[in-house]
Amino acid sequence: MTIIPLPAFRDNYIWLLRAGACAVVVDPGEAAPVLRYLADEGLTLAAILITHHHPDHVGGVAELLALAPVPVYGPALEDIASIDHPVGEGDVVRLPGLGVELRVFDIPGHTAGHVGYYGESALFCGDTLFAAGCGRLFEGTPAQMFDSLQKLAALPGDTRVYCTHEYTLSNLAFAAAVEPANGAISERIAASEAMRAQNQPTVPFPLSGEMLTNPFLRTHEPAVIRQAETQAGRSLTSPVEVFAALREWKNRF
Ligand SMILES: [Zn+2]
C-alpha cells in the first residue's frame, strides 16, 4: 500500500491509499483533486473513509459517490448522510481492494464523534492530533480531547501520523513559545522550514517525535506546566487542566 497526499483547499490533505488498481480516500473535502488523481493514474475508487463531519472533510463525498457508488465508512456517532458503514471504537475496517485492515478509535474532542483509523503503522487522525499541535475543541471537553490524544500517544512510536492539515510551522511557533529552551522544537522548526521551502508536506510524521515537541502531549513536563500556569494566571493541579490552559492560550496565540 502506498499513501499519497492530495492537497485540497488552502492547507488540507486528502489521503489516498493505493495498491494495484484500487484506491481508498480519507476525508475527501472536495472531489476534484481525487478525480484528477484517479484518472491520471488509472485507479478505481474502492471506498471512502471519514473521520468527522466538518465540510472540509466530507464536502466531496456526494460527487464521488455519484460517479462510483463505493462503501463509505465514518463515525457512527455523527450525523453524516453518506455513511453506509458506521464505525466506532474497536471496529476493524477491511479496505476493499487493498488487502489492508484498519482499527477504529473513538477520539472525541474536536467533534463529538470523531474517529481515527490505524493499521500498517499508519494513523489517520483527522483534526485530532496535528504535528506539534491538536485540533480545536468545537464540540468536546478538554478532558475528552486529552484522553483522545493519550490514546493516540499510546500507539507504537514508529506510527506515521497522517493528519489532515498542514499546520506544522504555526504549531511549532506555539510550541517554541511554550518551551523556548526545548532544542528538539528548534530542530524540528529548522527541518520543517526546509521541507516547506521545497513545497514538501511535513505530514506524515513519526509519532515518536511528538512526545518531544508537541506541548499537548507534554502536559507532565515541569517547564510546560510552569508556562501554562503563567498564561492561566493560577496554579493548575492536573494534566487535563494544563492541557485546557494550553489549548486556550493557543486559541489566542
Ligand atoms: Zn474539523
- pLDDT of residue 97 exceeding 90, the answer is no
How many A from CA of 215 to the centre of ligand 1?
A: 20
pTM (predicted TM-score): 0.97
Share of the chain above pLDDT 90, in %: 98
- Among 253, 62, 185, 233, which Cα is nearest to 241's? 233
Mean pLDDT of 60-66: 97
- How do 44-49 and 22-26 pair as beta strands? parallel
Predicted confidence band of residue 62 (pLDDT cuts 50, 70, 90): very high
How many A from CA of 246 to the centre of ligand 1?
A: 19
- pLDDT of residue 250 exceeding 90, the answer is yes
* Pair 15, 3: CB distance under 8 Å: yes
Q: Is 147 an active-site residue?
A: no
Mean pLDDT of 135-149: 98
CA distances from 29 to 73, 201, 202 (A): 15, 18, 20
Residues counted in the chain: 253
- pLDDT of residue 6 exceeding 90, the answer is yes
Which tens digit of pLDDT belongs to each residue from 197-242? Answer: 999 999 999 999 999 999 999 999 999 999 999 999 999 999 999 9
CB atoms closer than 10 angstroms to residue 43: 19
CB atoms closer than 10 angstroms to residue 62: 11
How many A from CA of 181 to the centre of ligand 1?
A: 31
- pLDDT of residue 147 exceeding 90, the answer is yes
Q: Is 54 an active-site residue?
A: yes
- Tell me the torsion sign for CA atoms 16, 51, 245, 235: negative
Q: Is 220 an active-site residue?
A: no
How far is Cα of residue 64 from the mean position of the Cα atoms in its chain? 22
How many A from CA of 97 to the centre of ligand 1?
A: 28
Per-residue pLDDT at 232:
96
Per-residue pLDDT at 96:
84
Q: Which of 27, 53, 57, 106 is catalytic?
A: 57
> What three-state secondary structure class fits 245?
helix
